[in-house]
Structures are given as C-alpha cells and as structure tokens.
C-alpha cells in the first residue's frame, strides 16, 4: 500500500446518497488550467481510484477550458480534454459539475451563471467574483437548485468556509478576525523579524513569488477585503458586498511603527475583521466589516502567524474561541479545498439538489465612523516652541484624549508618537484633518488601530 493509498482509507459508509439516485460517476468540466486548475486536474488524475474508494464517487474530467491551446503543458494535465471554448464546457449536457478556476470577473461571471442556469453544480475559488457578484450568483444558484461552493476562495487549503457554513451553522458568531492575505503577512513578518524596510520586504516577496509585479491588490488590502466580504457573509448569514467593506492597506507602515508596537507588547498585522455590533434593537443585525493594519497583543494567537500563512480566529457565543490556520494560497493547497467542494457537490448530482448557501438575512452595515478603539499615530512636526501645545489642542478639540505621547528625534526629524485613549473613528479622522491644517505638521504617518485589551 503506497502512502497515498493509506491516506485515502475507504470510509465506512460512502458519502454519496446512491439510494436517493445520486450518481457515483460524475463528469467534471474545469475552466482554467493555471496554478489551481493544473494542480486540481493532476490531483484528480493521479488519485481517482483512491478518491473513489474513499468517497464512492468517480470523478471523470470531461473537458478543460484554457485561453491558449498552444501553450506547452504536462501530459498529466489531460491535453486530450482541452478546449479554447469555455462555453462549450458549461453547455455540455453530459457535464454535471463545473469548476471555475479562470479568475477575475469576466468571463467567469457569465460562465458561472450559464452553468447554474443549465442546472450544474458549480465550484469556484474566485474571491473577486464572489465579493463583487455574490448576490446575483447565489440567487441564480437558488433558482436552479444547484450548489455554488467556494471553499478555496478564502484561506486556500484551510477548511474554513464549510466550518462556518455547516459546523457553526447554529452558532451565534460574535466576531471573525483573520490574517487572510499571505503576501502582506510575509512583508509585515519580514519587517518585524528582520527589520527590513517595507520596500525591501516587498521586493523579496516578489522574488519569492508571493507578490505580483503589481502588488496593489495585496498591499492595498483589496484581496483581504474581498475575503472579508465572503467571511462576513457566511458568519452572519448575510449578503455583504465588497463596497461595504472598509479597507486600508499596509503601504504606510514602517519598521519604526512595528518597533514601537513591540515595546508595548504588540505585533502589527493586516486584519480582516467582521463583527456583530450588539445593539439595544437586535433586528436587523448590525455588522461591521473592515480591513486595516492593527496592533494586536503578542499573546493573541493571530500575532504568532508568520510568513505567508493565513489564520482566522472565530469568536462564538457557545463555541468560544476557535482558530483555523494553514496555507492561504498556492495551487496545490487551494486545489485541495476545491477537491473537497467537488466531492461535496458530487453528492448532490442526480439527487434533488439542496438549497443554495448564503441566505438572505438583511443586515445593517455599521460605518467605520462608529468604530471605538485606541489609535497609534505618528506626526512629523517642525521642532519649534509651542508645537506640542498646538498639536495637543487639535486632539482636544475633537474629543480625542491622548494616553501617551513620545518625541522621537530632534530638529527637522522630530516625530511625535501618540497613543490615544478609546476614541471614536470619526473624531480621530477629524483630528487628522485638523493636524494636516497646521503649518507645523509636515507629515502624518500610519494610523494603526489597536485590537485587544486596552493599553
Ligand atoms: N493561485 C492561488 O494560490 C490561489 C489561491 C486561492 C484562490 N485562487 C483563485 O483561483 C482562481 C485561479 O487562480 P490561478 O492562480 O490558478 O490563475 P492562473 O494561474 O492565472 O490560471 C488561470 C487559467 O485560466 C485560463 N483562462 C483565462 N482566461 C480564460 C478564458 N477566457 N477561457 C478559458 N480559460 C481561460 C488560463 O488559460 P491559459 O493557461 O491558456 O493561460 C489559465 O489556465 C482565481 O480566481 C484565484 O483568485 C488562487
């Protein structure tokens, strides 16, 4: 018995409900054969027997759509199944499940809609698509009675979506907070541990293949925001669009900010946070969703997540605190999550398909202005008499109380580092506006919100 066979030990009872008419042989159409698509096809082709022994489902890859047929590809990637016409795959009546691994918005959106309209189950790992068109796609899935599964879209290999959607379906979730972008976590880890500048850490991330040549989607927080929208949607049983997620990236963070955080017993992480705001009137639920750099106590489990790893910390009323950790990206890791969805969807093929997921609870999104927390901010000022007093006056005018202030450097390089007491975001933003208007203020550095116990 090979190690792989040992891993795929046959389950006591097959998951496929053959008694209800589910098929044991399922034909799969794959859209896209890149990092994830290629790894998925290879995984299925090499493990088909073991997968069948374990799950009772035989996955047959019927067709694979690519953009460029002339591209050299490995024989393991089933060149005989390739087509340039993705519509041919979604309209093929013999195909039961379509796996969308093209990425981006179009033609992915149209293809997924076509597949759902044709009554096929759909699996995707496309966070951008879900964050932008989730409501339309889930409506289409609901109408056709097909499943739309998306485990690979958040947290790569980490079984997170199913855990929130199924295992924690009855749980009153208070907060989901995670490191969901490996590129920014790698950069911040390098800055924290090796004291390299943001720029150098980014170049290193690019050379290792963690960051794209244009890193905007990662470093400006767009990728994390798309995942935050998806996570918030599952955790709070709602439909939350990308435009409802407040977003900031890590571009303004520097090593001195991180060093300062260390002195206070904190680590700096880019966090995606979705939380329920407890209000006197419980309906509709009030939800806050945001992505921004945060100072997190070094004792918090998320503070220890290093390099390109991802982790999501869930706080539930009955479950207490849970943490999900693993590889958040990579073709093979993501293909593992996609395969799980594929087998899940295969269980519904031929039987009366279940209702689609992500229901329709109406929620109110709490604006970022309402956030109350402590803030770290740096202000570069001219070293002149009276500067401190005028800066402090601006804080006071906007009801932002200063917990501590430290001056770093002298003369032209004077930098004031502030930690506020608990303050309202709207007041802090008004303070920043007031500070910018002072002629003694040269530059306002990164604003970092404090998460966790009060400083
Ligand atoms: N890579 C990761 O680590 C990761 C992790 C989590 C989620 N995801 C998500 O998974 C999805 C796929 O990512 P990826 O990294 O595998 O992308 P990728 O490497 O760029 O692969 C994209 C594939 O789609 C094909 N394609 C593009 N346009 C097409 C069209 N119009 N018709 C048919 N095929 C088309 C390309 O064909 P050619 O091969 O001919 O160019 C390529 O095979 C994305 O939504 C991504 O966000 C990726």
Segments of 4-51 assigned E as strands:
25-31
**pLDDT for the residue 414:** 81
Question: 340: Cβ below 6 Å to ligand 1?
Answer: no
User: pLDDT: is 255 or 348 the higher one?
Assistant: 255
DSSP per-residue codes, 329-343: --HHHHHHHHHHHHH
Mutation probe of ligand 1 site: the residue of 29, 30, 33, 36 with most atoms within 8 A of C-beta: 36
Confidence of residue 338 (pLDDT cuts 50, 70, 90): very high
Class of domain 170-326: alpha beta
* Ligand 1 geometric centre to CA of 239 (Å): 25
Confidence of residue 66 (pLDDT cuts 50, 70, 90): very high
Between CA 455 and CA 446 the distance in angstroms is: 18
**pLDDT for the residue 350:** 56
**For ligand 1, atom 41: residue with the closest CA:** 67
Question: 66: Cβ below 6 Å to ligand 1?
Answer: yes
Instruction: Indicate whether 176 pLDDT > 50.
Output: yes
**pLDDT for the residue 78:** 84
φ, ψ at 366 (rounded to 5°): -75, 125
**For ligand 1, atom 5: residue with the closest CA:** 329
DSSP per-residue codes, 264-293: TTEEEEEEEEEEEEP-SS-SSPEEEEEEEE
User: Would strands 25-31 and 246-247 be described as parallel, antiparallel, or unpaired?
Assistant: unpaired
* Ligand 1 geometric centre to CA of 126 (Å): 9
Is the model's pTM score more than 0.75?
Answer: yes
Identify the bridge partners of residue 99 per DSSP, sorted by sequence position.
30, 123
Q: For 229-277, what is each residue's pLDDT tens digit?
A: 999 999 999 989 999 999 999 999 999 999 999 999 999 999 999 999 9
Query: Which member of 120, 127, 227, 269 is catalytic?
Result: 227
Between CA 29 and CA 86 the distance in angstroms is: 9
- The three-state secondary structure class of 443 is strand
* Ligand 1 geometric centre to CA of 213 (Å): 16
Is 227 catalytic? The answer is: yes
* Alpha carbon 291 to its chain's center: 10
Confidence of residue 14 (pLDDT cuts 50, 70, 90): very low
Nearest to 98 by CA among 68, 76, 119, 75: 119
Domain covering 3-161+331-348 in this structure, CATH number: 3.40.50.720
User: pLDDT: is 354 or 42 the higher one?
Assistant: 42
Instruction: Indicate whether 15 pLDDT > 80.
Output: no
* Ligand 1 geometric centre to CA of 240 (Å): 24
Question: 249: Cβ below 6 Å to ligand 1?
Answer: no
Confidence of residue 16 (pLDDT cuts 50, 70, 90): very low
| Alpha-helix runs per DSSP H in 156-240 | 161-162, 182-193, 198-207, 216-219, 222-235
Instruction: Indicate whether 293 pLDDT > 60.
Output: yes
CA distances from 435 to 19, 95, 251, 420 (A): 70, 61, 21, 15
Across all residues in the chain, what is the average pLDDT? 90
Q: For 102-115, what is each residue's pLDDT tens digit?
A: 999 999 999 999 99
Q: By mean pLDDT, which of 16-30, 395-409, 417-431 is the weakest?
A: 16-30
Question: 108: Cβ below 6 Å to ligand 1?
Answer: no
Average the pLDDT over 138-148 and give the result.
92
Q: What ligand 1 atom has the least distance to the C-alpha of 33?
A: 43
| Domain boundary assignment for the chain | 3-161+331-348, 170-326, 368-449
Q: For 316-325, what is each residue's pLDDT tens digit?
A: 999 999 999 9
Check: CB of residue 262 under 8 Å from CB of residue 249: no
Residue percentage of the chain with pLDDT more than 70: 91
The CATH fold assigned to 368-449 is Alpha-Beta Plaits (3.30.70)
**pLDDT for the residue 351:** 53
Q: By mean pLDDT, which of 195-204, 277-286, 429-438 is the weakest?
A: 277-286
Question: 32: Cβ below 6 Å to ligand 1?
Answer: yes
**For ligand 1, atom 28: residue with the closest CA:** 67
**pLDDT for the residue 20:** 52
**For ligand 1, atom 32: residue with the closest CA:** 67
* Ligand 1 geometric centre to CA of 38 (Å): 9
**pLDDT for the residue 401:** 98
Between CA 95 and CA 80 the distance in angstroms is: 16
Between CA 339 and CA 347 the distance in angstroms is: 13
């Amino acid at each position: 018995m090979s190690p792989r066979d040992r891993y795929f030990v046959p389950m006591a009872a097959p998951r496929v409900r053959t008694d209800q008419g589910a098929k044991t042989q399922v034909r799969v159409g794959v859209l896209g054969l890149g990092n994830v698509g290629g790894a998925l096809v290879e995984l299925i082709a090499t493990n088909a027997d073991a997968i069948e022994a374990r799950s009772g489902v035989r996955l047959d890859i019927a067709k694979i759509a690519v953009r460029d047929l002339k591209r050299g590809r490995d024989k393991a990637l089933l060149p005989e199944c390739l087509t340039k016409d993705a519509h041919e795959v979604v309209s093929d009546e013999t195909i039961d499940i379509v796996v969308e691994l093209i990425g981006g918005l179009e033609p992915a959106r149209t293809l997924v809609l076509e597949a759902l309209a044709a009554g096929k189950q759909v699996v995707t790992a496309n966070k951008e698509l879900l964050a932008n068109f989730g409501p339309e796609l889930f409506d289409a899935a609901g109408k056709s009675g097909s499943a739309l599964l998306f485990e690979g879209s958040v947290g790569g290999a980490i079984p997170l979506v199913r855990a929130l959607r199924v295992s924690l379906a009855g749980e009153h979730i208070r907060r989901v907070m995670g490191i969901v972008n490996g590129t920014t976590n790698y950069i911040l880890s390098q800055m924290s541990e090796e004291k390299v500048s943001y720029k150098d850490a980014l170049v290193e991330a690019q050379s290792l293949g963690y960051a794209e040549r244009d890193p905007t989607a990662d470093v400006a927080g767009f990728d994390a925001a798309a995942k935050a929208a998806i996570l918030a949607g599952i955790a709070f049983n709602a439909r939350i669009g990308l435009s409802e997620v407040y977003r900031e990236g890590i571009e303004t963070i520097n090593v001195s900010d991180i060093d300062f955080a260390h002195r206070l017993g904190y680590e700096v992480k880019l966090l995606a946070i979705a939380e329920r705001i407890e209000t006197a009137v419980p309906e509709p639920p009030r939800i806050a969703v945001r992505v921004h750099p945060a100072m997190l106590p070094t004792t918090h489990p998320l503070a220890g997540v290093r390099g390109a790893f991802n982790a999501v910390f869930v706080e539930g009323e009955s479950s207490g605190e849970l943490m999900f950790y693993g590889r958040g990206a990579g073709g093979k890791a993501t293909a593992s999550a996609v395969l799980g969805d594929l087998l899940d969807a295969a269980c519904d093929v031929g039987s009366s398909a279940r209702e689609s997921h992500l229901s329709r609870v109406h929620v109110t999104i709490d604006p970022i202005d309402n956030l109350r927390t402590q803030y770290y901010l740096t202000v570069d000022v001219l070293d002149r008499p009276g500067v401190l007093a005028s800066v402090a006056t601006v804080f006071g005018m906007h009801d932002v109380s200063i917990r501590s202030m430290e001056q770093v450097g002298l003369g032209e390089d004077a930098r004031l580092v502030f930690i506020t007491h608990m303050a309202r975001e709207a007041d802090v933003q008004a303070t920043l506006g007031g500070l910018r208007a002072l002629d003694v203020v040269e530059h306002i550095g990164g604003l970092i919100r404090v998460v966790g116990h009060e400083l």
